[in-house]
Amino acid sequence: MPEKTSTGIREGNKRNIALAEIGVIAVAIIIFSYFALPMFFTNVSAGSTGLQTLPANPANNSISKITLQVQIPCQGHAPLSSGELKKISGIEGVQFSLPNYFEVSFNPAKTSKEQILAAGIFRQFPAKITAGQR
């Protein structure tokens, strides 16, 4: 039988307590990574100081908006979808909202709803328009 140390805790128990603490920390990091980080990074763009991606030219009245429902497996895929949409010429802004909606602002003189829906990302994650053009 192992001898007790000066603290009264056996060496084997110290190891088990340390492993349990590491496990709790790891679970906390995984939960934070899965829920909090995707929501933060989804709506932050390189040129933005806030959480919402704004149109490049807000004074331009020819901006249209559509809302897409995208079949992403989890919210962690939202930054990937937003990034791919922003690569399309004419996309002025993308805003993600839970669980799987993307509000896309675009210049109809440069792109169309059909071109947006034809983006390569939607071959992997199918999308449909849930709110029309404004």
- Please say if the pLDDT value at position 106 is more than 50: yes
Residue with tokens 């919402």: 52
pTM recorded for the entire structure = 0.55
- Please say if the pLDDT value at position 107 is more than 90: yes
Over the range 75-92, which residues count as b (16 or more CB within 10 Å of their CB) and which as e?
A: bbbbbebbebbeebebbb
Token representation of residue 61: 């009245």
d(CA 94, CA 45): 10
pLDDT band (50, 70, 90) for residue 17: confident
Regarding predicted confidence, which is higher, 62 or 61?
62
Residue with tokens 């496990």: 23
DSSP 54: P
CATH number, span 64-131: 3.30.70.100
**Signed CA dihedral, 66, 71, 73, 79: sign only:** negative
Position 21 scores a pLDDT of: 84
The residues spanned by each domain of the chain are 64-131
pLDDT band (50, 70, 90) for residue 7: low
Mean pLDDT of 50-67: 62
